[in-house]
Amino acid sequence: MNIDDATAAANDRLADRDDMIVCVNVDKFYGDFQALKGVTATIKEGEVAVVCGPSGSGKSTWIRCINRLEVHQGGDIVVDGIELTNDLRNIEKIRSEVGMVFQQFNLFPHLTVLDNITLAPIWVRKKPRAEAESMARALLERVGIPEQAEKFPGQLSGGQQQRVAIARSLAMEPRVMLFDEPTSALDPEMIKEVLDVMKELARSGITMMVVTHEMGFAREVADRIMFMEGGEIVEVGTPEHFFTNPTEDRTKLFLSQIL
């Protein structure tokens, strides 16, 4: 099977799934600077999409627009059938369905690991505390650090903190997980433990959108890779297509720099 057939096959496989995230001509400005220039893309249910590109290409801005941490000025974003507008109720609904993992973890330093994870289920999902705690412990088991439940984030290593952050997002039982450079702030020896958790997650069938520079991860688990530069999506394709036969010159240049 040649590579373009593979891309076509992947597209076919995804074609009959429901749309999870739909972006149409999304524009974003910071003052005079246009960070996103008509970004159009569709991510299907259960898809793992990796977004890569050089610094300042708009990857993080785009992913942050999807749960409205940034406000886009033009175009439409629809997540799971709900359009992102200024309506507060839609934003709350989308945020409780979309989990986000940050580069700097952003755990709550004054709460224990367990409280970090159970806060939102108890107060947003209105779950009883006992149920929320048993779920939190199960999630800590899943990310491999069940023994750290009573500690404070400041007592954990970076890799452990990022795994807690993933567990915290999963506690809301989201349908989509967004990862904004989840391994960029980690020491090299801790990157693997976080990537392992993310790979397990990808295989579990949740929809994932990952901004990362980890090309090994992208090659292994991504359904599609999107390459961005200058606020535009330059090229989209399966990992096979992307790494072995990129069509755009800018993609080739980027790959030659990082591989």
- List Cα–Cα distances, 152 to 61, 108, 112, 113, in angstroms: 30, 9, 4, 6
> Coil, strand, or helix at residue 128?
coil
* Beta-bridge partner residues of 26: 39
Residue from 14, 22, 24, 111 in contact with other proteins (CB under 8 A): 111
The span from the CA of 214 to the CA of 195, in Å, is 9
Residues in contact with other proteins, shown as a per-residue x/- string from 114 to 143 under the rule CB under 8 A: -----xx--xx-x-x---------------
Smallest distance from other proteins to CB 172, Å = 6
Find how far residue 251's CA is from the centre of its chain: 21
Residues in 33-72 that interact with other proteins by CB under 8 A: 67, 69
The amino acid that residue 178 corresponds to is L
Pick the closer one to other proteins by CB: 212 or 238.
Answer: 212
Smallest distance from other proteins to CB 65, Å = 13
Smallest distance from other proteins to CB 143, Å = 16
The span from the CA of 209 to the CA of 169, in Å, is 14
Asked if residue 166 binds other proteins (CB under 8 A), the reply is: no
Residue from 85, 155, 184, 247 in contact with other proteins (CB under 8 A): 155
- List Cα–Cα distances, 172 to 93, 99, 123, in angstroms: 12, 7, 11
129-142 helix and 113-123 helix, angle to the nearest 10 degrees: 130
Report which secondary-structure segment, H or E, holds 76.
strand 74-79
Pick the closer one to other proteins by CB: 104 or 184.
Answer: 104
Residue from 40, 73, 85, 104 in contact with other proteins (CB under 8 A): 104
Pick the closer one to other proteins by CB: 161 or 251.
Answer: 161
Residue from 82, 172, 236, 255 in contact with other proteins (CB under 8 A): 172
Pick the closer one to other proteins by CB: 24 or 172.
Answer: 172
- Of the candidates 204, 206, 179, which has an alpha carbon nearest to the alpha carbon of residue 67? 179
DSSP secondary structure of 145-173: -GGGTTS-GGGS-HHHHHHHHHHHHHTT-
Residue from 10, 48, 77, 107 in contact with other proteins (CB under 8 A): 107
Binding region for other proteins (CB under 8 A): 67, 69, 92, 95-96, 98-100, 102, 104, 106-112, 119-120, 123-124, 126, 128, 150-155, 165, 168-169, 172
